[in-house]
Amino acid sequence: MSLNHRTIKIAFATVIAILLAQFFNLNYSVSAGVIAILSVLDTKKSSVLTALQRIASTVLALTIATILFRLFGFHIVVFGIYLLFYVPLAYRFNLQSGIAPCSVLVTHLLLEKQTSLPWLLNELALMMIGAGVAILFNLYMPSKASQIILLREQVETQMKEVLHSFSVSLREGEDRNQSRLLDELDDQLEKYRQVVYAEFDNQLLDQSTYNIRYFDMRSEQVTILKYMATNLGLCALPTSENKILAGLFFLTAAQLHEQNTGIYLMEDIDSLLQSFRESELPATRAEFENRAILFQLLNDFRRFIQTKKDFYEEYAAEIKTKNEFIMRKN
């Protein structure tokens, strides 16, 4: 949520919460506005969850305060004793988000020297109005769906660049600085995942994990590419196998896409692995080491494609539905 967006929500939610509290003739109506300020959070899910926690925390706080004030009187020391009981219990039941606002509500009872039912309902109503108004304002969150589509495309473009550099390195024996490209891509993926998680927390009904798993899958692939980049620098001999594997990297870069199943690429890799196994043994130590590295590269690359294939199979139905929607839209 942008600062301007958040500021506008807080301002309107605060004023409306106070006006509602005044409309219902609640005492300390300004407290409803303060609670609204505290309850306007970054996502829908966090707002709803926090509001429910604070309402439950209010019931707990008022119960403890009522018992203690009736037993020992309305004194500051008793308020301290209330905190000694309430705070650990709030943490115990994961209601700690309500400690500050609920304790403010308890001070109203202390100041008024009242624990009658109307006063308890007054404090509970202040919490429900403040938290409720904040939830209503947080129901509107600009969707990041279009941004996420662009982020997926950016990741795929960067991965194509890495695979192209792998291909050139094998054909020409040049160091294309893949490690730097992969480190940059890894950093970008971490930032992109934050956007995806924020969007996920703004979907109260649609709880698809597709985008989260997509970026996790790409992150796993980048980890594999890092291993491959290390071995790539050790392929010193220009052999026919180098050129074949370079062609496979080039082909994969051309086909790399969110909706590629990876099935045909897996077949190509398996065919190439079988070809390596059946080819003549290397004649020299250098050729043997080069062949071993190529074999390791190919096995790692198989894991790279398998990771995408597993993802596609997991979300095949969702991808199919998405494609049908796009076709109808066009």
Show the 3-state SS of 285-302.
HHHHHHHHHHHHHHHHHH
Q: What is the mean pLDDT of residues 258-266?
A: 81
pLDDT: is 138 or 205 the higher one? 138
Residue 117 pLDDT grade (very low, low, confident, very high; cuts 50, 70, 90):
very high
Q: Are residues 95 and 177 in the same domain?
A: no
Question: How many residues are given for the chain?
Answer: 330
* C-alpha–C-alpha distance, residues 311 and 309, integer Å: 5
Residue 312's pLDDT is: 86
Structural domain including 134 reads: 3-138
Residue 210 pLDDT grade (very low, low, confident, very high; cuts 50, 70, 90):
confident
Q: Are residues 116 and 184 in the same domain?
A: no
Q: Are residues 120 and 149 in the same domain?
A: no
Q: Are residues 281 and 149 in the same domain?
A: yes
Domain boundary among 138, 161, 191: 138
Domain count, the chain: 2
Residue 4 pLDDT grade (very low, low, confident, very high; cuts 50, 70, 90):
confident
Sign of CA dihedral 309, 311, 314, 318: negative
Q: Are residues 106 and 236 in the same domain?
A: no
* Count of beta carbons in the 10 Å neighbourhood of residue 78: 17
- What is the value of pTM for the model shown? 0.74
Cβ distance 165 to 111 under 8 Å? no
Domain boundary among 138, 167, 194: 138
Which of the residue ranges 65-74, 78-87, 138-147 would you say has the lowest mean pLDDT? 138-147
Mean pLDDT (the chain) is 86
Residue 54's pLDDT is: 94
pLDDT: is 166 or 118 the higher one? 118
* C-alpha–C-alpha distance, residues 22 and 91, integer Å: 32
Q: Are residues 122 and 157 in the same domain?
A: no
* C-alpha–C-alpha distance, residues 45 and 53, integer Å: 12
Domain boundary among 120, 138, 156: 138
Retrieve residue 287's tokens: 């050729």
Q: Are residues 170 and 297 in the same domain?
A: yes
* C-alpha–C-alpha distance, residues 324 and 183, integer Å: 36
Q: Which helix (H) or strand (E) holds 237?
A: none
271 burial type by CB count under 10 A (0-12 exposed, 13-18 middle, 19+ buried): exposed
Q: Are residues 19 and 114 in the same domain?
A: yes
Q: Are residues 132 and 151 in the same domain?
A: no
Retrieve residue 142's tokens: 């600009």
pLDDT digits (tens, 9 = 90+) for 220-236: 999 999 988 888 777 65
* C-alpha–C-alpha distance, residues 21 and 26, integer Å: 5
Residue 283 pLDDT grade (very low, low, confident, very high; cuts 50, 70, 90):
low
pLDDT digits (tens, 9 = 90+) for 14-36: 999 999 999 999 999 999 999 99
Residue 288's pLDDT is: 66
